[in-house]
Amino acid sequence: MQDFPVGPVHRHNGDLKQRRSLRSEDIIALVLTGLFAIALVGALAIAKTLIMPMVAALIVGTMLSAGARVLERYRIPRALSVVLMLIVSGGTVALFLLLISSPLLAWMSRLPALGPQLREKLHVFDRPLALWNELQSALGIEFSLPKIEWVQPTLEFLSPTLTEFLLFFVTLILFALSWPNLRRSLILTFEQREDRLEALRILNEIEDRLGNYLLTVTIINLGVGILTGLIALAGGLPNAAALGALAAVLNYIPIIGPALLFVVLTIVGVLTAQTLGGGTIAPALYLGLVFLEGHFITPSIVGRGVSLNALVVFLAFAFWTWLWGPMGSFLASPMLIVAIILREHLAPAESRQ
């Protein structure tokens, strides 16, 4: 009887067992990674009141640190540079709030009279609504308007608490003042010179890119605010400067902010214009403006400095908005920039995945 070699067979079986064991290890690693991600998302959601203001302060403080570093080049002390940046930022916010607050109070005082005016303007829809009701009755379809129970959750979603604001403000000031010492401590935690240089490059790139991102977005939003004011002025809307300032502020919140301003422009236009068609001119022009800004201008300008994929930006925006609300939508792009920088340095494309 002829004997067959068994060595290769045993070797082949051993390779199969090794491959199976590696596959099982990959599955276990994937499961553990998924469980960790779920636990991390749950922790971020539960500790939102604590974590979100601190993360926002760190992101905004890093952005402002780029401007403070520019002032330091002119031999201005670090503390004075930080104070100047905070004063300029706070003064700008206060100016926009001042432009918005006076017309807002005036409109709120007119709320009792706005209801009848709006009903009178929308009387042209009485006949289509009557036809719609007749069609519902003929087809046996019941259609009810949504209840107003969503108002309180929406206000809670949009407005931060006093505790969150204080935590953000205190963390921002302390972080901006102590950032140089914190940078030095982070770099000195590494023993090897190459690791320290790599940490320095990462921190410098994060600071530069976030600073450039804030400056670019601010310039774009100011342009949107100016053009919106001109649109409101051309459309005959009152308080065009206030509407422009509101557009610049709300444009920091992607999608949600422009949608809110579109509703405001529509209501103001319908109430102030003589005809319903005339009241929709300004909202239509603003809708075209934000479409061009959001789909062409901002991606082309921001994309030159930071390689952000449109799908990844949208998914990050949707995730952080769902998790942390409007502040999450504001922080989505900066946190994505930080993640991309960390990946470029810690897991470069030429390294083994």
Task: Please give the angle made by the CA atoms of 126, 275 and 246, to the nearest 5 degrees.
Answer: 105
| Sequence-ordered list of residues with C-beta below 8 angstroms from that of 173, at least 6 positions apart, any chain | 82, 86
pLDDT of 81 reads 84
Closest alpha carbon to 209 in 317, 57, 59 = 59
CA distance 117 to 120: 5
pLDDT of 126 reads 57
pLDDT of 125 reads 56
- What is the maximum span of the chain, computed from C-alpha positions, in angstroms? 107
Closest alpha carbon to 329 in 338, 337, 319, 317 = 317
Domain ranges (residues) in the chain: 48-97+160-189, 193-353
Instruction: Spell out the alpha helix ranges (H) of the chain.
Output: 7-46, 48-72, 78-109, 111-121, 126-139, 151-158, 162-188, 193-234, 240-250, 256-272, 276-279, 281-292, 298-305, 310-324, 326-346
pLDDT of 94 reads 83
Cβ proximity of 271 and 107 under 8 Å: no
pLDDT of 150 reads 45
Task: Please give the angle made by the CA atoms of 116, 119 and 122, to the nearest 5 degrees.
Answer: 150
Question: How many Å from the N-terminal Cα to the C-terminal Cα in the chain?
Answer: 50
| Sequence-ordered list of residues with C-beta below 8 angstroms from that of 61, at least 6 positions apart, any chain | 171, 172, 175, 176, 179
Sign of torsion over alpha carbons 25, 27, 30, 34: negative
**pTM, full prediction:** 0.72
| Sequence-ordered list of residues with C-beta below 8 angstroms from that of 100, at least 6 positions apart, any chain | 242, 245, 246, 249
- Give the 3-state DSSP-derived string for 300-312, with helices as H, strands as E and coil as C: HHHHHHCCCCHHH
Residuewise pLDDT in 10s, the chain (353 residues)? 455 455 554 555 555 445 555 577 778 888 899 999 999 999 999 988 889 999 999 999 898 888 888 888 888 887 788 888 888 888 888 888 787 877 777 776 666 666 666 666 656 555 666 666 666 677 766 655 555 454 455 445 555 677 888 899 899 988 988 888 888 999 999 999 999 999 999 999 998 888 888 888 899 999 999 999 999 999 888 888 889 998 998 898 877 789 889 988 988 888 887 777 778 899 999 999 998 887 778 767 765 555 566 677 778 888 998 898 878 888 888 998 899 889 888 876 655 54
